[in-house]
Homo-oligomer: A and B are copies of this chain.
Amino acid sequence: MIPSVRIVEVGPRDGLQNEPQIVATDVKRALIHRLAGAGLKHIEATAFVSPKWVPQMADHAALMAMIGDIDGVNFPVLVPNFKGFEAAMASGAREVAVFASASEGFSQKNINCSIAESIDRFVPIFEAARAQNVRVRGYVSCVVACPYDGAIAPAKVADVAGLLFDAGCYEISLGDTIGVGTPASVRRMLEAVAGRVPVERLAGHYHDTYGMGVANAFASWEFGLTAFDSSVAGLGGCPYAEGASGNVATEDLVYLFEGLGVETGIDLPRLVDCAHWFSAKLGRGPHSRVAKALLARTKP
């Protein structure tokens, strides 16, 4: 049996949320359709957050209406609270994602409550989701370090991941939000979390701020993870380091896993085409090295 991994494309949400220029809704729709055309089966489409917080996501309902259904493709959407959950349901979403931080400082600064309070706020979402047969994915941010509190103890990440898992998340996505992890710190974190949540329910969500995204994904795969989040073209950036890289690029992960003999179900040339097309819409080249190298090779 050929081993396989599941890639969750987060470019339209996590990537775009960190891009300064507002992208038109029909361009987002085209991006999502091209991603689906390249074989991505899990595409986080948008966030039902307040436009005051994230203007880029203000068109969430309109975008969901434009995307429509694509057979076999999930479009999870981020929801910060029950109001967002209700709006997501009204838009036809069938999967939502909730988020908590492994850092108290980050939780306080970002959502103005403790980690425990932030998870309590999701209880109505979990109840409603269960009743409506909607899947809930959980993000944990700052799994290696926090821009305010510094290094985060692996046991703390395990606690938060465990709480979200117990509450009903089918998968916990472990986010190195500021991209400072290396294979050593990521593995220490995974060892702790795997004692609390089965490894097959964990996803690696690594940012490439310090160029470690691919190496951290590799180390995590060796550890046993088979789900990874990434952004086409390496979309996005880091709000804590202006000019730095964002999510690890989907192309780079696909190239890695193809090299490891691991099936992703993704058509790399089509994905690279999509990366170049969308980067051009943003008026620049893709951040992904694979996209740059493959474009160079296909030049006449």
Residue interface bits A105-137, CB-to-B below 8 A is 1, else 0: 000000000000000000000000000000000
Residue interface bits A250-287, CB-to-B below 8 A is 1, else 0: 00100110111100000000000000000000000000
A220 to chain B, nearest CB (A): 11
A252 surroundings in chain B (CB, below 8 A): 210-212
Cα distance A197–B203 in the bound complex, in angstroms: 39
> A297 near B: Cβ within 8 Å?
yes
Cα distance A199–B99 in the bound complex, in angstroms: 45
Sort chain A's interface into a size bin: 35 or more
Q: Judge whether A260 and B182 touch: CB under 8 Å.
A: yes
Q: Judge whether B243 and A182 touch: CB under 8 Å.
A: no
Q: Give the residue name and chain of the B residue nearest to A288 (CB).
A: B211
> A299 near B: Cβ within 8 Å?
yes
Cα distance A296–B184 in the bound complex, in angstroms: 24
Q: Can you tell how many copies of this chain the complex includes?
A: 2
Residue interface bits A53-94, CB-to-B below 8 A is 1, else 0: 000000000000000000000000000000000000000000
Which of the listed residues A241, A255, A290 has the most CB atoms from chain B within 10 Å of its own CB? A241
* Given known A-B contacts A210-B252, A289-B208, A289-B209, A182 and B259 have beta carbons under 8 A apart: yes
Cα distance A182–B253 in the bound complex, in angstroms: 11
Which residues in A have some Cβ–Cβ distance to B below 8 Å? 179, 181-185, 208-212, 214-215, 218-219, 238, 240-245, 249, 252, 255-256, 258-261, 288-290, 292-293, 295-297, 299
Between A and B, 17 residue pairs with Cβ closer than 8 Å are A179-B293, A182-B256, A183-B259, A183-B260, A184-B261, A209-B293, A210-B255, A212-B252, A212-B259, A214-B215, A215-B256, A238-B296, A241-B293, A241-B296, A242-B299, A244-B293, A245-B292
